[in-house]
Amino acid sequence: MRLEALARAAIADALKRLAPSASREDIPLERPEKLEFGDISSRIAFTLAKELKRPPQAIAQDLAAAVSHPAFEKAVAAGGFLNLHVRPEALREILREILSEGESYGDWSLGGGKPLQVEFVSSNPTGPLTVGHGRQAALGDALANLFSALGWEVTREYYLNDEGRQIELLARSLWARYRQALGEEVPIPEGGYHGDYLVPIGEELAREWGDKYPEWTPAAAEAFRRVAVERMMGMIHEDLAAIGVSFDVWSREGDLHRRGLVWEVFEALREKGAVYEKDGAYWMKSTAYGLSRDPVLIRSDGTPTYLMVDIAYHVDKYRRGFVKVIDVQGADHVEEQQQVKLALRILGYPEEFLDYCVHQFVTLKGREGIEKMSTRAGRFLRLKDLVDELGRDVVRYFMVRRRPGAHLVFDLELAKKTSMENPVYYVQYAHTRIASIFREAEKIGEPVTRDALRMTDLSPLEDPDELALIKELDRFPDVVRKAAESYGPHLLCEYLEELAGIFHPYYNRVRVLGQGEATPARLALLLALKTVLAKGLSLLGVSAPEVM
């Protein structure tokens, strides 16, 4: 039983004897930062004060006196808090349980195998992925991993928008590059794509097709659109492969149209009275529901807008059976998100069905001219180039280390360093060091397998750092859960750095091998630590190397 469960049992028991009427299931628990406040504490006395009509301090004192549980050596009341001090034996028992769970330690069954979708990246095929998309790729993949760990059946989905005006502009830009390759002075169209990446493709088409498309005709538009999308998707796949993200489902806007879903959903909105006609177009009455603007759903030329299709797409997600959908999107889409959520509400879908994980943008520090990125202007750093330069692990880790809602300053000089300034190496190195100890241990015949170590005598574990490590390991499942539910993989980074931060000094101070009975006990602790480090890193999509 983990520390939380033990504390809950101990406090509930005391409460039952002290004030049966006030007994409750939800006992608030915290991990105090200061050692003097014990190993786990509760502010329950504050919550009971009103009900019992007594000051929190008095309640805490009575509870402290009433706590009697084998896992805790003492209970102390301090300023209304109830602080519990755990017995080392109880911690060792926890370690034994962690070892028994092995690699599944940290998993939950909260999701009950229900289908959950994480949609992320979903970049339009108008260019390769930039470092900005990299944040989304790392974030979305980590969230998908985390929700898998919570027990959901997770689908990673990429929504591919391969039609519309932007694609038209891309095709036109590519055609311009093609004409330029044939020696003609054709400018990139207004609002078109200026990036260099279209130049070699234009040259290639010039060689292949010669002067087949001298004018921008419907036939040319069709041909260039097809090639452009195909080639851009090729680049996007290269970028995704570089950062190691793969998707289960690629959905295309065109499919939604073909199935008639867009119009069906539009009619449903109209039946709800949420649509009106003006200037030949159909608008959604969003301002009537408190939003700042009424958006167009159907243009005056009769074609649906991106928003309309997006609403239909989410209806489609619901019909496909997802119980929960998380869309990872940049901060520039907030209004769109409000509109989609509103439409789903009007249509009667459950409020919790759709959630957005909104992230702020990435700015690059240390390279001139690309601080402010723009795919259209051709001013960006390609994701694949960044990964080739720094390595997948560094890019992934840096991208998820910050709270999604905060701006991310990606310091290129820092990321390049292989010293302790670089937190990803700090964590990985802890794992590597443990792996190294195990290689040595095996050579000298110490027990190294999980089966052997979980049966070993753990009583030699009494060093404060050893007990602190067990307490941290005990927290791991809660960190996984919170990182998932708050859409904050950075919490996992923080936790792993904390673990490594206890281990490194310990390693420096305490020898593991050749210490008699202490050796197998320490190996048991380190095996659990190694397992948790590896699992935590893998949830972030980062490797846990045996050697570095």
Partner RNA sequence: GCGCCCGUAGCUCAAUUGGACAGAGCAUCGGCCUUCGGAGCCGAGGGUUGGGGGUUCGAGUCCUCCCGGGCGCACCA
Site for RNA in 464-483 (CB under 7 A): 482
The site map against RNA for 309-328 (x = CB under 7 A) is: --------------------
Among 25, 185, 190, 301, binds RNA (CB under 7 A): 301
Closer to RNA by Cβ: residue 17 or 439: 439
Among 22, 370, 507, 543, binds RNA (CB under 7 A): 507
Instruction: Examine residue 508 and tell whether it contacts RNA (CB under 7 A).
Output: yes
3-state secondary structure of 244: coil
> Closest distance between RNA and the C-beta of residue 547, in Å?
3
β-bridge mates for residue 83, sequence order: 41, 76
Give alpha helix (H) positions in 210-362.
218-243, 253-258, 261-271, 306-319, 334-346
Among 23, 148, 305, 538, binds RNA (CB under 7 A): 305
Which phi and psi (to 5°) does residue 445 adopt?
80, 20
The site map against RNA for 136-165 (x = CB under 7 A) is: -------------------------x--xx
Dist. CA 535–CA 541, nearest whole Å: 10
Dist. CA 124–CA 235, nearest whole Å: 12
Site for RNA in 203-262 (CB under 7 A): 253
Closer to RNA by Cβ: residue 240 or 512: 512
Instruction: Examine residue 24 and tell whether it contacts RNA (CB under 7 A).
Output: no
Site for RNA in 165-184 (CB under 7 A): 165-166
Instruction: Examine residue 528 and tell whether it contacts RNA (CB under 7 A).
Output: no
3-state secondary structure of 358: strand
Instruction: Examine residue 436 and tell whether it contacts RNA (CB under 7 A).
Output: yes
> Closest distance between RNA and the C-beta of residue 307, in Å?
6
β-bridge mates for residue 326, sequence order: 118, 355
User: What are 365's two structure tokens?
Assistant: 């520090």
Which phi and psi (to 5°) does residue 199 adopt?
-60, -55
Nearest alpha carbon to residue 255 among 185, 175, 309, 187:
309
Among 32, 88, 102, 151, binds RNA (CB under 7 A): 32
Q: 410 Cβ partners below 8 Å, 6+ apart?
A: 131, 362, 363, 364, 365, 398, 399
Site for RNA in 73-112 (CB under 7 A): 78-81, 83
Closer to RNA by Cβ: residue 5 or 200: 5
Site for RNA in 326-355 (CB under 7 A): 331-336, 338
Residues 507 and 526 sit within 8 Å (Cβ to Cβ): no
> Closest distance between RNA and the C-beta of residue 46, in Å?
3
β-strand 281-284 against 296-298: which pairing, if any? Answer: antiparallel
Instruction: Examine residue 14 and tell whether it contacts RNA (CB under 7 A).
Output: no
Instruction: Examine residue 37 and tell whether it contacts RNA (CB under 7 A).
Output: yes
Phi-psi region of 59 (alpha: psi -120 to 50; beta: other; left: phi over 0): alpha
Closer to RNA by Cβ: residue 212 or 293: 293
Site for RNA in 368-407 (CB under 7 A): 372, 401-403, 405-407
How many Å is the maximal CA-CA distance in the chain?
92
Instruction: Examine residue 190 and tell whether it contacts RNA (CB under 7 A).
Output: no
